[in-house]
């Protein structure tokens, strides 16, 4: 996830870039981990 994708995600969630500018690397890592877990769960239930 690059910074532009991260900005778009924040905009969709009605968050501001300025609040995440300094901590974005850690937040992006957590989002990626969460998305992987969600993907694993949907595959496990045959939802995809």
On whether the CB atoms of residues 24 and 2 are closer than 8 A, the answer is: no
pLDDT, position 48: 52
pLDDT, position 22: 78
Neighbours of 20 (CB within 10 A): 17
The model's pLDDT over 20-45, given as tens digits with 9 standing for 90+, comes to 777 888 888 888 898 888 887 777 66
State mean pLDDT over 6-29: 84
Q: Give the 3-state secondary structure of residue 6.
A: helix
Quick one: tokens of 47? 């939802």
- Picking from 32, 33, 24, 29, the residue whose alpha carbon sits closest to that of residue 4 is 24
pLDDT, position 38: 85
């Amino acid at each position: 996830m690059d910074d532009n994708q991260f900005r778009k995600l924040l905009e969709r969630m009605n968050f501001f870039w300025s609040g995440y500018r300094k901590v974005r690397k850690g937040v992006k890592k957590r989002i990626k981990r969460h998305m992987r877990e969600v993907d694993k769960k949907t595959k496990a239930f045959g939802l995809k």
